[in-house]
């Protein structure tokens, strides 16, 4: 989440709110008559310019988004582009993600009660043929948990639903779960109790963990160290916290990865960049880029994406993307490459392709995707 000003995530509670059953849209506006943001009124980049292709993306350096909210992304698209041409989330993926070089995504379900639409998504990605025909060849995976904002709604029934989802062939972890002391949407004692309860379930099932922690470093660290085996796989999602906190977790948990979103590109956020640089400090015995890349879409549009050729055209000038999506991930990798030490030999130099490639390996190590 960006800096200290990020707004609370929307938590849709009904499939109808997601637009999956919308009727045929009317003709979309022309690029010269772009829509405006439904909340801010800011002019938006026309959806015809959404398809982003980065030259560093290739089969050797693909896009793997380890944390995205596809249902919310599609909801945001339909809200901001009511005359848009995509009628389903899968059509949105086929048109924008596959051409951009997205190899895989980890979709995050975090609501309480659990949204039943998750199974429609997951069941439509069971076979290679489905993933080719329905998802455009993009590998769809998911995790499920309850976000700390929703901890007050956690019940035995919710837990049973999540445990049931854990056995689905496309499920690769438990989360997003954790602590958020910035908004305190749920009382802190409730957040801690629900976090501990979810951790115990996930550890018992040997599921990788997707962790949310905001302004709760001490309690997050204490709970993780108390309840999670040191060799467990942990993804600390959208890291914006104290770099020293990150280093303590990395030192304690050898299979822990720091999730980096487009928030690293924001001028108001220095801690995430410092966290990445610290992985290569001279005092580190084995310098290694222990990150996974994520969009947290529809949030966290990288500020650097506006250098993309399609977004520097007259039609796009002065306008903003209404939402993030998996295709923006290489611009986050661009920024990260600029933070890393550049050796004298070619194989010691960091560029966007190398960051994407290593992040792809780390995603496989973290989630098996």
The whole-number pLDDT of residue 30 equals 43
Higher pLDDT, 39 or 354: 354
List the domain boundaries for the chain.
62-367
**Confidence label for 33 from pLDDT (cuts 50, 70 and 90):** low
Residue partners of 57: CB distance under 8 A and separation at least 6:
63, 100, 101, 330, 353, 356
Strand ranges in the chain using DSSP code E only, listed in sequence order: 63-68, 102-109, 139-144, 171-180, 209-214, 234-236, 256-260, 291-293
* Two structure tokens written together for 359: 């992040």
Residue partners of 22: CB distance under 8 A and separation at least 6:
78, 87
SS (H, E, C) 210-268: EEEEECCHHHHHHHHHHHCCCCCCEEECCCCCCHHHHHHHHHHCCCEEEEECHHHHCCC
Residue 62 · residue 101 · CB < 8 Å: yes
The whole-number pLDDT of residue 2 equals 37
Determine what percent of the chain is predicted with pLDDT higher than 70: 89
- 302 pLDDT higher than 50: yes
Please give the mean pLDDT across all residues of the chain.
90
- Output helix, strand, coil percentages for the chain, rounded to the nearest 5: 40, 15, 45
Burial track 242-269 (b if 16+ CB lie within 10 A, e otherwise): ebebbbebbeebeebbbbbbbbbbbeeb
Determine what percent of the chain is predicted with pLDDT higher than 90: 80
The whole-number pLDDT of residue 6 equals 38
- 285 pLDDT higher than 80: no
Rounded CA-CA distance 165/173 in Å is 10
The whole-number pLDDT of residue 1 equals 37
**Confidence label for 34 from pLDDT (cuts 50, 70 and 90):** low
**Confidence label for 317 from pLDDT (cuts 50, 70 and 90):** confident
The whole-number pLDDT of residue 207 equals 98
Q: What are phi and psi of 356, to 5 degrees?
A: -60, -45
- 20 pLDDT higher than 60: no
Of 109, 212, 203, 224, nearest to 162 (Cα)? Answer: 109
Q: What is the mean pLDDT of residues 139-154?
A: 98
102 DSSP β-pair partners: 63
- 365 pLDDT higher than 70: yes
Token match 């280093």: residue?
Answer: 247
Q: What is the mean pLDDT of residues 338-352?
A: 81
- The predicted-structure confidence for 258-273, as pLDDT tens digits, reads as follows 999 999 999 999 999 9
The whole-number pLDDT of residue 344 equals 60
- The class level of CATH for 62-367 reads alpha beta
- The predicted-structure confidence for 160-217, as pLDDT tens digits, reads as follows 999 999 999 999 999 999 999 999 999 999 999 999 999 999 999 999 999 999 999 9
Q: What is the mean pLDDT of residues 78-97?
A: 95
The whole-number pLDDT of residue 347 equals 63
Q: What is the mean pLDDT of residues 143-152?
A: 98
Rounded CA-CA distance 319/299 in Å is 17
């Amino acid at each position: 989440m960006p800096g200290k000003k990020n707004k609370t995530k929307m938590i849709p509670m009904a499939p109808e709110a997601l637009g999956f059953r919308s009727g045929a849209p009317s003709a979309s506006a022309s690029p010269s008559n772009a829509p405006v943001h439904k909340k801010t009124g800011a002019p938006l980049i026309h959806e015809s310019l959404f398809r982003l292709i980065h030259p560093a993306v290739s089969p050797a350096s693909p896009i793997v988004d380890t944390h995205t909210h596809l249902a919310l992304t599609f909801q945001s698209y339909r809200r901001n582009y009511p005359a848009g041409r995509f009628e389903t989330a899968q059509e949105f993926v086929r048109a924008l993600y596959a051409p951009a070089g997205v190899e895989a995504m980890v979709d995050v379900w975090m609501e309480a009660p659990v949204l039943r639409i998750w199974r429609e998504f997951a069941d439509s990605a069971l076979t290679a043929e489905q993933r080719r025909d329905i998802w455009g060849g993009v590998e769809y995976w998911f995790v499920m948990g309850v976000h700390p904002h929703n901890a007050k709604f956690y019940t035995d029934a919710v837990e049973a639903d999540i445990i049931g989802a854990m056995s689905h062939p496309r499920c690769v972890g438990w989360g997003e779960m954790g602590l958020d002391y910035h908004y305190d949407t749920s009382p802190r004692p409730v957040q801690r109790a629900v976090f501990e309860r979810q951790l115990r379930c996930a550890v018992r099932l040997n599921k990788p963990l997707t962790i949310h922690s905001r302004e709760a470093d001490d309690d997050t660290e204490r709970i993780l160290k108390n309840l999670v085996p040191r060799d467990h796989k942990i993804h600390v999602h959208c890291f914006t916290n104290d770099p020293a906190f990150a280093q303590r977790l990395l030192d304690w948990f050898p299979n822990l990865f720091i999730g980096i979103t487009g928030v690293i590109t924001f001028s108001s956020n220095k801690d995430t960049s410092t966290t990445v640089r610290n992985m290569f400090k001279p005092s580190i015995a084995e310098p290694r880029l222990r990150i996974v890349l994520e969009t947290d879409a529809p949030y966290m549009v990288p500020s650097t994406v506006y250098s993309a050729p399609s977004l520097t055209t007259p039609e796009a000038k002065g306008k903003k993307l209404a939402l993030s999506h998996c295709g923006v991930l290489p611009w986050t990798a661009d920024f990260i490459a600029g933070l890393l030490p550049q050796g004298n030999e070619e194989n010691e130099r960091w560029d966007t392709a190398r960051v994407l490639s290593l992040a792809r390996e780390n995603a496989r190590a973290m989630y098996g995707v």
